[in-house]
Amino acid sequence: MANDKILGLSGSLRSHSYCTAVLKTIQESALTGVELTIHSLADIPLYNQDEDGDRSPASIKALREAIRQSDGIIMISPEYNHGMSGVLKNALDWASRPYGASSLAGKPVLTMTTSPAFTGGVRAQTQMNETLLSIQAWPVPRAQTVIGSIHEKIRDDRLVDEVTLGFIKNGVVALQGEIVRVRNHVTR
């Protein structure tokens, strides 16, 4: 069986981002049947409908194609002022187009948030799932992965909290289950 191709998107551009550190840890965890590629959002311009369509920027075409080629997505964001980061929202706005033909439509997505606060970015995650539903993506129905006190769980840009990592690994298994459902055209 071929590995599931998972695309990792981080809503933080910070070089020592906790969100990106979590993605890198998953990538290095050698999960069964998973091939995780992290796609940086650093070169995504601000959304401008005038620039969309056939003439959309190369970085946007690359993002849309990376989403299209993936079997599923792990999307992780910090919480900024009780919402997802502008970086991620902006990328989702680009990815949502063309209207009715988004590469995200029907795509299984496992959402996660992190924060140094004990609330773990839960408000941002609610917003992420709401936005994904509007694009008709397929958020994994599961207990939310909100990682509070993240600064105490990261060392050398990697997640070192085994309990949190175990919960995340179960989330990835759930994502793989949704990928199978989509592949087999199972509706819910």
Q: Which residues bind ligand FNR (CB under 6 A)?
A: 12, 14, 17-19, 78-82, 115-117, 119, 121
Q: How far is the CB of 156 from ligand FNR (least distance, A)?
A: 14
* CA distances from residue 80 to 41, 114, 116 in whole angstroms, order as listed: 17, 11, 12
CA-CA-CA-CA torsion sign (81, 84, 89, 90): positive
In this structure, are residues 11 and 183 in contact, taking their beta carbons and an 8 Å threshold? no
DSSP 3: P
Residue appearing with tokens 């060392």: 155
Minimum Å distance from CB 121 to ligand FNR?
6
For ligand FNR, the closer of residues 91 and 179 by Cβ is 91
CB of 16 to ligand FNR, least distance (A): 7
Nearer to ligand FNR, 12 or 103 (CB): 12
Q: How far is the CB of 139 from ligand FNR (least distance, A)?
A: 20
Closer by beta carbon to ligand FNR, 78 or else 108: 78
Query: Of 68 and 151, which has the nearer Cβ to ligand FNR?
Result: 151
Cβ neighbors of 34 (< 8 A, separation 6 or more) are 3, 4, 6, 172, 176
